[in-house]
Amino acid sequence: MPKQRTQYICDECGAEFPQWFGKCPACDTYGSLTEQVVPATSSNPSRPSLSGNSWMREGGGDQNKSEGQPRSSFKLSQIAEQSIARCSSGYGEMDRVLGGGIVPGSLVLIGGEPGIGKSTLLLQVARNLALDHRILYVSGEESGLQVKLRAQRLISGVDNGVLEEETPPEIPEIADETVKIEEFNGKEEELFTLSPALPENPFGPDLVPEPLRENDNQLTHQPEGMEQLEETQATLETPPEPVKQPATTQSQEEPRFYLLPETDLEEILRELESLKPYLAVIDSIQTIYFPSLTSAPGSVAQVRECTSALMQVAKRENITLFIVGHVTKEGGIAGPRVLEHLVDTVLFFEGDRFASHRLLRSMKNRFGATHEIGVFEMVANGLKEVANPSELFLGSRDDFSSGSSTIVACEGTRPIVVELQALVSPASFGSPRRATTGIDSNRLVQILAVLEKRVGVPLSKLDTYVSSVGGLNVSEPAADLGVAIAVVASFRDRIVDPHTVIIGEVGLGGQVRPVSQLELRLREAAKLGFKRAIVPHGQNPPDLGLEVISVSKVLDAIIEAIPGPANQAFAETPTSEESSTLVAGETNVDNFVNEFDDDFDDDFESENPVF
């Protein structure tokens, strides 16, 4: 019997070491090495091993090559071109995130917080594909009955439900349920025990049977209304006419949705090889275990080996695999980093559990664009795709308040119009607060420093709060100019033109820098009815029906964004060449700052007389 050996694996990066270290030499994480027992190599050559990348040697690739013969390389031009026919998931938003549809034989890892809707989304996708393809749903967290109950709840009211059984209702047998008067045993309450098929009161609303006396042992008289009871009973005993069932399709008569409540990897692989489904869902990878490993399910070794074995079967049998992954308390996908390297696509399902919308974000995609998003809305029957996401993140332009601005953010290749809101108020304590929702807090601190140093807005002693409507996470630099204008508008208590979109990156010198995909952003703004757009200088977009205003400095953008007397303080301030001297300190910046202070103090005292 070969001697077992141990190795130490990092829980963060998955690196393997022959001895223990207090700090992982690969990722410099302290206390992340855990001991794992390496399974002994089987002496039976017919039994495959699942450790490492053995699937590449024992089943993957060219089966005609003899064992031990080295693989021969070939030229890239020798590979025959094949057009891969993608399959639609039934949801346009998910097809967008996947790059145009599901690629056969691909591995897709989807992660997200508990209860966000990962299993719901995949169950709905599996139901759509089961109309035309064979689907296998492997559940490691729920029993078969629980999955069916959840599926029936999701597809209630949906036509052509594959999982819903359309059988005629059973008619209860009257002879077994109906109380016979001649078998009365003297208990008064049993006389009124009725069959579920009978009406609540078979004697009619005005006919109530006369109760028997307590000492009666035999029925001496027939209560009034018994003739109606006998007629009702005879009617129910008559065989009902056959129920006409609607015409069903072949997919309904022969459902192609298969369910496997199993956590043993060997049983799952055996079912995949025998059933050969078009798509299989593994829910979740942290519950699957390989019996030859002594570690617990969900450990680094188990997740790595199980994923490698599943990838072996998926690539060999051309099966599309959707794998559900848990997340850590930091928000990342649980398990070793090698898990994300093995799969073809990594999707992250995110959203606020207190809101109805969900975002499906692509973090890695070998067959499409990364950082693409799909927007869904959680309703009573599951997830529903949102065709126009800007409606969720754009407030009403009729009720525009001070401190609001509109930007166009790009998530992958999708432009989304988002409203930003800012609130500037006196600090209640010595140190002012900077709080954000959907905006990077470090980015906000940088923008506030630019406004105070380059524009002259005194914000060092004021609390500043910035949020995006709907809670959308906007992290790209193109939102900088919109944040800056929203903060200044709140500081001056002015309203930004609600028909203006603001696009641009703010540099540390107060410049407005160019952004990517400007034409795509402007097209989205024009489609939603915006009239003006403030963009960085030097970018010449085509005529899209918008008044395009090019600015080179943040000060110029503020003057253009706040109309009328709102920018009176800025109108008296020199722009262009003179503004640079103002920024450089060649003119009296203190007068400009004091003008802000005086106006702010007057407005604040008039609105708050208690101060």
How many alpha carbons fall within 13 Å on the CB side of residue 481? 36
CA gap 236, 251 in Å, rounded: 35
Amino acid at 492: R
CA gap 93, 125 in Å, rounded: 12
Would the annotation count 114 as a binding residue? yes
Would the annotation count 118 as a binding residue? yes
Would the annotation count 458 as a binding residue? no
Would the annotation count 112 as a binding residue? yes
As to burial, measured by CB atoms within 10 angstroms (0-12 exposed, 13-18 middle, 19+ buried), residue 553 is buried
Would the annotation count 113 as a binding residue? yes
State phi, psi for 408 to the nearest 5 degrees: -120, 105
On whether the CB atoms of residues 155 and 123 are closer than 8 A, the answer is no
Residue 327 tokens read as 């997340």
- Three-state SS at 361: strand
Would the annotation count 166 as a binding residue? no
CA gap 146, 283 in Å, rounded: 13
CA gap 524, 501 in Å, rounded: 10
Q: Which residues on adjacent β-strands are paired with residue 362?
A: 347
How many alpha carbons fall within 13 Å on the CB side of residue 197? 20
CA gap 489, 482 in Å, rounded: 10
Q: Which residues on adjacent β-strands are paired with residue 230?
A: none
Pairing mode, strands 279-283 and 135-139: parallel
- Cis ω for the linkage preceding 431 (within 30 of 0): no
As to burial, measured by CB atoms within 10 angstroms (0-12 exposed, 13-18 middle, 19+ buried), residue 18 is exposed
Q: Which residues are annotated as a binding site for ATP?
A: 112-119
Q: Which residues are annotated as a binding site?
A: 112-119
